[in-house]
A and B are shown apart, each in its own frame.
Chain A
Amino acid sequence: NAGVTQTPKFQVLKTGQSMTLQCAQDMNHEYMSWYRQDPGMGLRLIHYSVGAGITDQGEVPNGYNVSRSTTEDFPLRLLSAAPSQTSVYFCASSSGQREVATIYFGEGSWLTVV
């Protein structure tokens, strides 16, 4: 029962460095998305994808890049890390075949930018 798998779980970056957070799901879900969680802010949508080759921006997309070359994978790239990107990142997936579907989350990636 893998579900949604994120790596790495913890990462420390220096300002200006780039990195990729990996996300994979084995439920054959069409929809995938990335959220960030900040204290007192809840979770906010960064980018999402409704299928392979299709991505779009969410509420807070600046400084992040995504691609969706396969149904299973949806990596999130930080182009030039900034301290404001210190956060907990969650990948999620859900079925596009139902009008109402449960959204499943990965276990999170704790990122610190110094």
Chain B
Amino acid sequence: GDSVTQMEGPVTLSEEAFLTINCTYTATGYPSLFWYVQYPGEGLQLLLKATKADDKGSNKGFEATYRKETTSFHLEKGSVQVSDSAVYFCALSLRGSNYKLTFGKGTLLTVNP
């Protein structure tokens, strides 16, 4: 079946450090890939997405590139801020199955000033 494996946390960084959260996937079809973010006490917000190989999703300084050859969608940010502290989820959905997301377990990021 479909699955998403993401880097286990928690991850603790100092402000302005470089962030990478690894995400790899297994899919039975052609997936679209997503990163969602959950700030403390809040729901999930879509951070960025990519729908085909070599696409780069970007938002709020975060980037991720859809790598079909390595089945990966790693999240990166060049300089994190305290306000980026949150749980980050990598997820996939299959074309024609927009009712279902398969999630990774989430990575807790804490950024210290």
Interface residues of A, Cβ cutoff 8 Å to B: 31-33, 35, 40-45, 48-50, 58, 90, 92, 94-96, 98-108
Contacts and interface: CB of A to CB of B under 8 A. Distances in A.
B95 A100 contact: yes
Given A43-B44, A90-B44, A100-B98, 7 more contacts: A32-B99, A42-B103, A42-B105, A49-B99, A92-B101, A103-B99, A105-B45
Nearest to B50: A100
Given A41-B105, A42-B103, A103-B93, A94 B98 contact: yes
Interface size class on chain B is: 20 to 34
B43 interface: yes
Contacts of B44: 43, 90, 105, 108
Interface of B: 4, 32, 34, 36, 42-46, 49, 51, 89, 93, 95-96, 98-101, 103-106
Contacts, number: 63
Nearest to A109: B43
B98 A45 contact: no
A100 B101 CA distance: 12
A99 B95 contact: yes
A45 B100 contact: yes
A1 B47 CA distance: 18
B32 A100 contact: yes
A59 B81 CA distance: 36
B43 A106 contact: yes
Contacts of A107: 42-43
Contacts of A42: 4, 89, 103-106
Contacts of B46: 102-104
